Structure 1
Amino acid sequence: MKNFKLNSFTKTLNIFHIRHVVLLLLLFAMTTACDKEDAPIPEEEQILIDPLKEKEEEEEEKEEETPQPPTQNDINQVDTAVSNFMTKHGVPGAALAVSVNEKMVYTKGFGLSNTNTNKATEADDVFRIASISKTFTATAIMKLVEEGKLALSDKVFGPGGVLGSDFGSATLTTNEMNITVDHLLIHSSGGWGVSTGGDPMDFEQQLDANSFIEYIFNNWDLQNAPGTTYSYSNYGYWLLARIIERVSQETFEAYISTMLTPTGATSFKTTTFREEDREPNEVEYYASAQENHWIYTMAPRRDGDGGVVISTPDLLRFICAIDGRNGRQDLISTPTQGFMAEPSEFSILGRGFGVWEQENLLFFTGSLPGTRTWFYLNPQNGVTAVIALNSRGNSSEFDNDLNTLVYNLVKDASIPWQTDLDLF
């Protein structure tokens, strides 16, 4: 019986002891937890949960990971060729722009834009481009044709002609009334060119457009029937500019400026060939003693035939929009571009492009007192080169050397163009 009671007490004591131990353990656990909550957070843990610090580190890592865009490197092979040409022919300044597959890979100014102030030529300085203006004019005409607003077979003059027949005292001949838009594009109007009586563009500068056309009809007869012979005619392209104005109901300059909007070209304008009309970043022009007086006295009427002022990068933007390739937005369809690039039955000139079939090249050039311009477009390798000079030189070798220079730029496969670059 005693053993039973002792055993019962022991059991009771054991139970009490166990309960006491459990209670002490619980109190210890709670105390430890409170101490842990009150303990300071280690410094490294504070850094990890600092949102501002974390964001700064992420941005730093992002900056380190973002690759820097490539920049243009000088190409000694190109720079030497341009500089040697300029030195040989006494050209003060030049600007060059080159594209490969419609990406501008090289653009640079050379020499001086103004010899009096020793101002260096910048890559985006603007130049008169003379007859390369005709490529803009031809493109605008073909765009109007694509839009159904004009037909190449449309007569220019006479009843029903685009420009009509109301030219004061002028009486139009049958040949004059048979001239079509396409005849003007391919220089086959029958006259009004250097080889057919001379270039009338700088005569009677005081006359407005309508009076000037009247003057031409009364004083410059066609030498041939339209569509039978070739005679390069500035007047013909000036007439095309008047057609663009009549059909679009805008000035030539306004229409072309709007047309160029998708290309990103912003420096386009037409000049009046007066010194006060120069742009702030327009180069000065230099000519021989015999030609110097013409620099600021040419007829202000000249626009679609030779009056465009533009930078070489913007000229390149325009050419890349009519070259038939699909790297940049086009201004005209590929079939239209192909049609423009076909030589006519009378000459190597198509409609806004010259065609060197043996070399598979498209080109056009411009020349006025104080100005020489040239471009080649190589459809095979996608290289296009544009150069503008502020002098056209006096040497008989000048044009041949310039032709060779630009030809090599689009043909020489050894030139290390940076094809990962696009300066557009």
Structure 2
Amino acid sequence: MHSITNNNWEMHKAYQILFIASLLLIHPFLLNGQYSSADSSINAIMNSHKVVGMSVAVVKKGQLVYTQSFGLKNQETQTSLSNSDIFRIASISKSFSATAIMQLVEKRKISLEDDMSKLVGFIIRNPKYPETPITLKMVLSHRSSINDSQGYFSLDAINPAKNPNWAKCYNNYAPDSGYMYCNLNYNMAGTIIEKISGERFDNYIRQHILQPLGLYGGYCVDSLDKNKFASIYEYNADSVKFIPSPNAYAPRSEEIANYTMGYSTPIFSPTGGMKISATDLAKYMIMHSKMGKANGKRIISRRSARIMQTMISVKEQYGLALSKSNKLINGVLLTGHTGSAYGLNSAMFFEPNKKYGFVVIINGSEQKYTDGFNAVLKKTVNSLYENIILK
């Protein structure tokens, strides 16, 4: 009798485990089913605008509650977009670079007050203010007085030994006295990550941020499954057509084969080259909304997270690769970043106190703007707010 009881108990436990496992498997579908009004609303937005495809993810109370994809992954093959497809997310990529910098600051390998000349390995000085050091903090907050006029896909642009017009990389105002959004700033930051860590930039991000959080993505095209890439399209208003942008995923294999550590880093575009799905980007966003910790892993300290979310450029509301805006959802102050490149528009914004947030990635749409945001993106975030967060 005792033996039969044990067998029954073991079978009961096995059924319990199977039942719980099945619930976990269908959990995302149950959640999405709860928010059919969001599906309907976004489909209506897609139908009223010119859009190729869009992936969205919503976090509520610190948990991923909704992920959905709409429209096409590839216009030519008429392939539907799925939640596992990845995009080049453009300037949201900057926050990964800034997060990596903060990890190195925590290890006391560098300081935000360090002189960029020392960190990069050649003179970084505004020639109009040669005695004023340009610090890492100024670079990360776009207060460096550096601009993109000479390009930003190579450090040669600002290297006096390589570019006779290097001085044009600097604005007329003194470092830390004004703001100008600058991609070259973050490609230099990526170079610093390599110099200080001794790891190639793309590998560092994968090993110290993506893998601990259990995320699939990266900066190196050749290290990723190309079947997952969502094609990106520029909208041509004259021809009313979407034109493919294959350069969004240019592998730059030859340049990587001749790579110089600590100098060639802009090849990976630390400023805009991250490839990741909306779902995984939302999981990364949870880490920032929870002040540096998610998935049981602390990526950066609470202090570092607070520094990144503190607005250094007060007028522009920009911190360290994270900004604040109350115009995406009118009257609601959100923290995050947008991205725009090759026809793609993206947004990652969260409310750090109430622990909700949104990721929206559009792989091609008409470029109409409302309050500084792509109109389709803004309408989508507001729909997700009304149909999921407020429900």
Residue of 309, 313, 317 corresponding to 2:275: 309
Deviation string, structure 1 residues 319-341 (Cα, Å, up to 9, x no partner): 22222356642311112211111
Query: Structure 1 residues 228, 414: CA separation in 2 closer, same or farther (over 3 Å shift)?
Result: closer
Give the equivalent residue in structure 1 for 2:350. 377
Partners of 2:283 and 2:191 lie apart in 1 by 25
In the alignment, the residues of structure 1 paired with residue 337 and residue 232 of structure 2 have an alpha-carbon distance, to the nearest angstrom, of: 21
**1:162 counterpart SS class:** helix
Q: Does 1:164 align with 2:113?
A: no
Bigger share in strand: 2
Conserved 8 A contact 1:360-1:379: no
Structure 2 unaligned spans of 5+ = 253-266
With over 3 angstroms needed to count, the CA separation of the structure-2 counterparts of 1:231 and 1:93, relative to structure 1, is same
Conserved? CA contact 1:322–1:330, under 8 Å:
no
Task: Show CA shifts across 1:124-157 (max 9, x none).
Answer: 1110100000111111111111110111111112
Distance 1:216 1:307, change over 3 A: farther
The aligned runs of 1:327-342 (5 Å cut-off) are 328=295, 329-342=297-310
The question of whether the paired residues in 2 share the 8 Å contact of 1:376 and 1:410 is answered with: no
1:101 equivalenced with 2:61 (yes/no): yes
CA distance in 1, matches of 2:246, 2:132: 35
Alpha-carbon distance, 1:392 to partner: 4.0
Which residue identity lines up with residue 207 of structure 2 in the other structure? T
Counterpart residue number, 1:283: 230
- Whole-Å separation in 2 of the counterparts to 1:243 and 1:107: 35
**Contact map agreement 1:377 1:410 (CA 8 A) in 2:** no
> In the TM superposition, what are the counterparts of 1:245-324 in structure 2 within 5 Å?
245-260=194-209, 261-271=211-221, 279-289=226-236, 292=243, 295-296=246-247, 301=267, 303-324=269-290
One-letter amino acid of the structure 1 residue matched with residue 138 of structure 2: H
How many residues are aligned here? Answer: 350
For residue 229 of structure 2, give the secondary structure of its aligned residue in structure 1. Answer: coil
Q: 8 Å contact 1:98–1:386 — kept in the other structure?
A: yes
- 5 Å-filtered alignment, 1:102-141, equals 102-141=62-101
Out of 62-71 and 182-191, give the one that drifted further.
Answer: 62-71
The 1:401/1:96 distance shift into structure 2, 3 A limit, reads: closer
| Closer, same or farther: CA 92–173 of 1 in aligned 2, 3 Å | same
Indicate which of 361, 365, 378 corresponds to 1:388: 361
Residues 403-418 of structure 1: pairs in structure 2 closer than 5 A = 403-410=378-385, 416=391
Shift of 1:62: 3.4
3-state SS, counterpart of residue 82 of structure 1? helix
Aligned partner of 1:145 in structure 2 is 105
In structure 2, what is the Cα distance between the partners aligned to 1:341 and 1:124? Answer: 29
How many Å separate the matches in 1 of 2:385 and 2:131?
Answer: 41
CA contact (8 A) 1:134 1:237 kept: yes
1:35-50 equivalences in 2 (<5 Å): none
> Does residue 1:228 correspond to 2:177, yes or no?
yes
Cα offset, 1:386, TM superposition = 0.9
Q: Distance in 2 between matches of 1:118 and 1:102?
A: 35
Report the identity percentage.
Answer: 25
Query: 1:24 aligns to what?
Result: none
What TM-score do the two structures reach when normalised by structure 1? 0.73
Map of 1:61 onto structure 2: 12
Query: Once the 2 structures are TM-superposed, how far is the Cα of residue 296 of structure 1 from its aligned partner?
Result: 1.5
Structure with higher Rg: it is 1
Task: Show the counterpart of 2:256.
Answer: none
1:43 aligns with: none
CA shift in 2, pair 1:211/1:382, >3 Å? closer
Helix, strand or coil at the partner of 1:406 = helix
Matched letter for residue 13 of structure 2: K
Q: Deviations over 1:83-114 (max 9, x none)?
A: 22222222222212222233222222222111
Farther off after superposition, 406-415 or 283-292: 406-415
Task: Tell me which residue corresponds to 1:243.
Answer: 192
1:372 to 1:153, Cα distance in 2 relative to 1, 3 A: same
Q: 1:30 aligns to what?
A: none
Distance in 2 separating the partners of 1:134 and 1:101: 25
Deviation above 6 Å: which 4+ runs of structure 1? 170-173
| Cα drift, residue 373 of structure 1 | 0.8
Q: 2:132, 2:175 within 8 Å by CA — same for their partners in 1?
A: no
Compute the displacement of 1:404 (Å): 3.6
User: After superposition, what is the alpha-carbon deviation per residue over 1:199-223, rounded to whole angstroms, capped at 9, x for unaligned?
Assistant: 7236xxxxx6457634556342412
Q: Partner amino acid for 2:228?
A: N
Contact 1:156 1:177 (8 Å CA) reproduced = no
Find the partner of 1:178 among 111, 133, 158.
133
Over the residues paired in the alignment, what is the CA RMSD in angstroms? Answer: 3.2
Looking at structure 1, the residues matched to 126 and 183 of structure 2 have their Cα atoms a distance apart, in angstroms, of 22
Contact 1:129/1:310 (CA < 8 Å) preserved in 2? yes
Corresponding residue number in structure 2 for 1:44: none
**What displacement does 1:55 show?**
6.3
- Residue 269 of structure 1: how far off its partner (Å): 2.9
Q: Residues of 2 paired with 1:333 and 1:296: CA distance?
A: 36
Change (3 A) 1:292 1:409: same
Q: CA shift at 1:263, angstroms? A: 0.7
Q: Is the 8 A contact 2:362 2:377 kept in 1?
A: no
The residue aligned with 2:261 is none
- 1:250-294 CA deviation, whole Å, 9 max, x = no partner? 11101111112221113223449xxx9872211111112489475
